[in-house]
Structure 1
Amino acid sequence: MRPILIVVLLIAVLLIAGLTGCRTLGYYAHVAHGQATLLAQRRPVAEVLHDPATPERVRLRLALSSQARRFASDALGLPDNRSYTYYVALDRPWVAWNVFATPVFSVAPVTHCFPIAGCVAYRGYFRKNLADREAARLRAGGDDVALGEVPAYSTLGWFADPILSSMLYWDDDTLAGTIFHELAHQKFYVKDDTAFNESYASFVEDEGVREWRRSRGLPPPEGDDAVDRSFTLRVLALREQLGRLYAEPMDATAMGVAKAETFEVFRGDYLAWRANVARGDRRYDRWMAKPLNNATLLPFGLYDTWKPAFAALFERSDRQWPVFFARVAALGRKPAAERTRELQALLR
C-alpha cells in the first residue's frame, strides 16, 4: 500500500477563510506551511548530482530518477514539467502521515472534502505529533482510527513535486513507478472518485515500469502481484463480512464481541494463507502485527479496483498512450454512475 497525500493549496485557505471553523483553518494552515517548507528546502536534482558533498548512494538514486523522469514524458506521454526535477532531503523517515477513521460499527470512511482535491477518506499531516493528536481526538469520539505512513505524494501539478529522500530507499522499479504514478495523477484526476484515480494511476505505473524495463534491456518485472491481489481480496471480503455484521440488529456489547471475534478469525486464517497461498511470503506480517480495526482496512482496494478495466482500455487503445489518455479523460467526464457502468463493462 502506498497512500498518497493530496496537498491543499495555500490559496484555498484564503478562499474559505470566512466559511470554516478555526480547527479546519488550522489544518489548512498546517498543510500550507508543510508544503511551503518543502518548496523552500528543494534543490535542483542536477545541482545535487554535481555537488561533491552528495553521498554516492544518493547520487546513484537521483541519476536513476532523472532517467525515469525523462522516460515518463518522452515515452509515456506524461506531463513534461518541473515535477521530480528537484530533491528534498527530509529530516524524518516519512514526508507525512495519513489519518483514516470510520465509525466503530461501520466500514464507511469518515471523509474530508477539499476545494481542489475533492473528497478523500483521510487527512494528511506533515508532522507526526499532529497526526497523533487528530487520531486521539477521533478515538475519543468513538471512531476506529488508523495511521498510514506517506513516503511520497502529488499536488496534482500545482507545484513542482520533488523527489524526497524517503523515496530513495526503494528498488529501481518502485522509484520509477512512483514517478509514473504521481505524474499520471497530474495528467488526469477526477474529484471525489478515489478508486478511479488510484486504479488508473496504478495501471500507468505498472505498464510504465514494464516499458521502462524493456527500454533498458531488462526482462519484465518478476510477478508477485498474485500475492498482493490475494491478500487484498481477503481484506475486502473481511470488510464485506463486517458490513453485514454491522447491519445486524444487536446491542453494542454483542456487536463489539462479534466484531472482535471476526478480526481474531481473520488473524488466525492469515497464518494458513501465508503458508499455503503466499508460500511463506511475509510481506504482510508487519501490517498484521498492528492492531486491526475498521479504519485499517480502508486503503485496500483503492489502488486496484478498476486496474484490470484500465488494462482492457489500454488494449482497446492499441496500446497507444495518447489514445488511452484521451479515453480516460472522456470516461472521467461522465457522471459517476455511468462511469462505473463503463468500467464494469470493460471487465467482461
Structure 2
Amino acid sequence: MDLFVVLKRSGPGPLDRVFRHLVPLLGIIALSGCSSLGYYGQLAEGQWQLLRARQPVDQVIANPATPAKLRERLAHAEQARLFASQHLKLPDNRSYRLYTDLKRPYVVWNVFATPELSLQPVTHCFPIAGCVAYRGYYQQGAARGAAALLREQGLDVYVSGVEAYSTLGWFDDPILSSMAAWGDERLATLIFHELAHQRFYVKDDTEFNESYANFVEQEGTRQWRVARGLAPVGADDSEQREQFTRLILASRERLQAIYAGPLDDAHKRMAKQAEFERLRGEYKQVRDSQWNGDKRYDAWIYAPLNNAKLLPFGLYDQWVPAFAALFREVNGDWARFYERVEQLGRLPADERKAALQRLM
C-alpha cells in the first residue's frame, strides 16, 4: 500500500501555517503501478532512517546528556499530547510521544511546479492520497536536481524546506529535532493539527482536510490556553497573516485573468512580471501603513516570484468557519463533532461542498 504524509514548510516564521499542511505521498511498501522507482526508493529509505532513530520522549527527558532546553520543550509537548487525547478526544497512540534527532535542519524538501503561463500545478497521483501538487525529497540535492529538470522543461519551480510531517497514523510519528526551536505553543498546535488528520482524512479533498484540522488546531489551542489559565492569543499576528494571504490571492486572481486572456505569450510574460511588481508594491504599502513597518514577510516577497511559489495560498482555511459552526451546533462536544465531520466526509464531493457552504 502507499503511505501519505502531511508536511510542514520551512520556518519558523509567519508563513508556516500557509505551507504547513501539504500532502505528498510516501510510497514505502508497494510500488506497483508506479514507474518512479527511484523516487519511491529515496522516500522509503528516508522514512526508514527516521523511524530507526526514534526514542521514547520520556527516555530523552531522563537522559542527563539531553540539553535542558530540549528537555523542557519535550516535557511541555507531552503535556499538550495528553491534553489532546483526554480533552480534545484525539487519537491516543504513540505519535508525538517519540523523538528523532535528524541531524539536519529539514526533514524533507518539497518541489512545486506549474507551467510558465498557468497556475495549474503539475500533479502527482497515487492510489490512496489521490493527486497532490508537489513531490517531497529527503535529500536537498535530490530536490534541487528534480527542480532543475523541471526548469529545463520551461516550468516555474519552487523548492521549500520542510521541518515536520505526519504519516496520518500509518506510523508512530515522532517529534523531530527540526521542531526543537519552536515555541511551546507552536509545537502543541502542530500536535493537535496532525492528530486531527489521524482522526479523520478524506482522499482528494485538501480544502476539507486542512480546514477541519485547522479548526481543531485553533479551538484546541484556545482550550489548551484556558486549561492553563492563559489569556487568549492576540489577534495581530493572525490578522497580518490573513492580510498577506489576501494580497497573494488577489494577485493570483489577476494572474489567472492574464493567462486566460487574449494576449500573446510574449505580452503575457511581460504582464506576469508587472503583476509581481504590483504585488510587491501593494505589500510595501500595507506593511508601512498598517503594520508599522514590520518586515516579517520581506524575505519571501522580495525573493524571486513565480507561479509555483503562489500555489499553497488560500487552500487551508477556506472552510474553517463552517467547521466552527458545526462545533457550535453540537455544543462543543468533541465526540459528536468528529461524528458529524465523518458524515460530511462520506458525502460525494459536490454534496460535501454544498453542505459546507450551508454551514458557512
Q: 2:56 aligns with which of 35, 44, 51?
A: 44
Q: In the alignment, residue 42 of structure 2 is paired with which amino acid? A: H
1:129 & 1:154 partners in 2: Cα distance? 23
Q: Tell me the equivalent position of 2:231.
A: 219
Number of positions where the alignment pairs a residue of Structure 1 with one of Structure 2: 341
Q: Distance in 1 between matches of 2:34 and 2:203?
A: 21
- Deviation, 1:5, is 5.0
Say whether the 8 Å CA contact 2:247–2:283 is kept in structure 1: no
Q: Output the amino acid matched with 2:131.
A: C
Q: State the Cα distance separating 1:183 from its structure 2 match.
A: 0.7
Pair 1:230-2:243 in alignment = yes
Structure 2 residue corresponding to 1:98, chosen from 102, 110, 126: 110
The reply on whether 1:296 has 2:314 as its aligned counterpart is no
Give the conservation status (yes or no) of the 8 Å contact 1:96–1:125. yes
Alignment-derived partner of residue 161 in structure 1: 173
Give 1:153 deviation, angstroms.
0.8
Give the whole-Å Cα distance in 2 for the aligned partners of 1:48 and 1:165. 12
Residue type of the partner of 1:178? L
Instruction: Tell me if structure 1 keeps the 8 A contact 2:21–2:210.
Output: no
- For residues 110-121 of structure 1, the aligned pairs below 5 Å read 110-121=122-133
- Tell me how far 1:247 sits from its aligned partner: 0.5
CA–CA separation in structure 2 for the residues paired with 1:196 and 1:115: 19
Runs of 4+ in 1 over 6 A off after TM superposition: none
Q: Equivalent residue for 1:312?
A: 325
TM-score of the aligned structures, taking structure 1 as reference length: 0.95
1:87 equivalenced with 2:125 (yes/no): no
Q: CA deviation at 1:109?
A: 1.2
Equivalent positions of 1:256-271 (< 5 A) are 256-271=269-284
Among the aligned pairs, what percent are the same residue? 56
> 1:8·1:117 contact (CA, 8 Å) conserved in 2?
no
Amino acid at match of 1:333: R
Report the Cα offset of residue 331 of structure 1: 0.6
Q: CA deviation at 1:276?
A: 2.0
Decide which of 132, 143, 155 is 1:143's aligned counterpart.
155
Deviations 1:122-175 (A, max 9, x none): 111111111111111111111111112211111110000000011121112111
The residue number in structure 2 matching 1:188 is 200
Q: How far apart in 1 are the matches of 2:24 and 2:328?
A: 30
User: SS of the counterpart of 1:152?
Assistant: strand
Q: Secondary structure at the match of 1:151?
A: strand
Tell me, what secondary structure is at the counterpart of 2:166? coil
- Unpaired stretches in structure 2, ≥5 consecutive residues: 1-17
Amino acid at match of 2:277: E
Q: What are the Cα deviations for residues 168-227 of structure 1, in whole angstroms up to 9, with x where unaligned? A: 211121110001111111111111111111111111111111111111111111222111
Task: Give the aligned residue type for 2:259.
Answer: Y
Equivalent residues of 2:109, 2:143 under 8 A apart: yes
Indicate conservation of the 8 Å contact 1:6/1:155, yes or no: no
Deviation at 1:48, TM superposition (A): 0.4
Distance 1:311 1:126 in 2: 36
Deviation, structure 1 residue 20: 2.7
The residue type equivalent to 1:302 in the other structure is L
Unaligned 5+ segments in structure 1 are none
* Structure 1 residue 282 displacement after superposition: 2.2
Matching residue of 1:279: 292
CA RMSD after TM alignment: 1.3
1:250 paired with 2:268, answer no
Paired residue type of 2:294: D
Q: Measure, in 2, the Cα distance between the counterparts of 1:278 and 1:316.
A: 36
TM-score by length of structure 2 reads 0.92
Residue 134 (structure 2) aligned to one of 119, 122, 128:
122
One-letter amino acid matched to 1:39: L
- Corresponding position: 1:322 with 2:335: yes
Q: In the TM superposition, what is the alpha-carbon distance from 1:281 to its structure 2 partner?
A: 2.7
Alpha-carbon distance in structure 1 between the residues aligned to 2:355 and 2:84: 27
Residue 60, structure 1, aligned to residue 78, structure 2? no
1:10 aligns with 2:28: yes
